[in-house]
Structure 1
Amino acid sequence: MKNYSYIIIDDSQKGVLQTKAIADGFSELLFLASANNYSDGLNLILEYKPTLVFLEIDPEDSASKLSLALINELHRFLKVIPRVIITTRKKDLAFDAIQYEVTDYLLKPVQRIDLVKLILKLEKSESENIIFKKQSTVCQKIATSLAPQDPPSHSKSLVLCIKSYGDYRYIESKDIAYLQADNNSTDIHLSNGETVTAFKTLKHFEGVLSSPFIRIHNSYIVNREYISRIHSGNSVCYIKNSIVKLPFSKSYKTNIDLIISEIAKENYLEI
């Protein structure tokens, strides 16, 4: 049985106690700490690195500054982002929360059946990730065996295998211009204009793709090899040989600065 450590961030101490009281009934859930405002909550997450964060995003006390913006801030410091479960009184912010790829959206007061469903969802996700990793390994082995063999000195581009109901689609990472989030799936945009949909979140691809892929927005990961222009004033990146403009957000501005810096280190002349 897998255990999930958690932190509760809620401006209402009553809300903290109510959520903890329900969670205490599950041996799989291990309480670490709680906080009542944005700053303390962020510090606790960075210190304890919990598996789960129960987060209030519509606080009674506006001075607590609790909101979905906390999730953006986590991307500045952590490679692995905790699974965020929204706990709030209203349904109004559910759509916004989905854009931040939260794991669940629970209405307060949290009920026992809510956590039963949450744990089942987490266990199912863990099983699917294990299966996906095994399938990816098999796909990569197949792709390697099918590909022409180059001399050992030549490095090979990573091959992604998008598997769906017995259909194996092989994509070389060097052909990917950018990836776009679409709820719980991701649209992979290729340099030839084709789009392939993978039923994994953008967060998943952020974890498995390394340089030259870099996240610039909650909804976009870009291959910097396909960036033809960066306009800081308009907060957009232009994709080579297309009319596509990708927005980048303030929370990922450091990644944009990194792209500019890396390009400048190559065969480069600034005029």
Structure 2
Amino acid sequence: MKDPLCEDHIRELENSFSDHVEIIFGPILPSPINTIIKYAPQIVIIDLDFIEAYETFLIDIKNLPFNSPKIIGISSDFRRAYLALKNGFFDIIIKPDIQTKLLQIVKQCENSFFNKDQCITISTPKEIRYLSTSEILMFKADNNYVNVFLNDGETFSIFNTLSHFQKNLGLPFLRVHKSHIINIHFVSRINYAKKFLKLKGCEKFIPFTEKYTLNIRLIDTLKKEVRMNINPKN
């Protein structure tokens, strides 16, 4: 049996997050573990009260790959909550205090993705490139290819789709246009009137569309929060 109130709260909050942050609500899934592995979301929310074979489930969670998502548990059972924290959950919310705390925790997850420099492996028929997220300015669709722009001015092409990169890349990369995924670390200017972005180290103006407005708002929110964190006290 599902918890309708809990699910409604989560669905209501989900609409306020960018489309880049995927949230999976546990009780609607036949197998949360298989779904995590298949879709590789960045954030997973699971109602622990409806998980059968709980100890086995926790072992599976603990054995997820190193690049597994941030997992947030929701429960009315303090024992289940305690065991989840011991087995690698990012945080736990005790019912019924869901909405406010969940919003705060998801924002913490977004900030942790934003601040983490990660290694990305990009393979082509001729070579394999190992890049850190801090080296990549943006990805741009070009017919059947994707052009990768690096912060040292180099550009190279890959036979693939931008949707493939959107699905597999996490923050700090966000899609802002049908043809552009940008590294939000390099955003230096957002012009809402003319709907373009400016990236440090890139002379071109990057357009954005209404479809990705939530992503633009997320860029603004994350960069403001980081500025607040690093500014010295008066």
TM range (shorter): 0.3 to 0.5
TM-score of the pair, normalised by structure 2: 0.47
The structure with higher relative contact order (CA 8 Å, sep 6+) is 2
Q: Who wins on radius of gyration, i.e. which is larger? A: 1
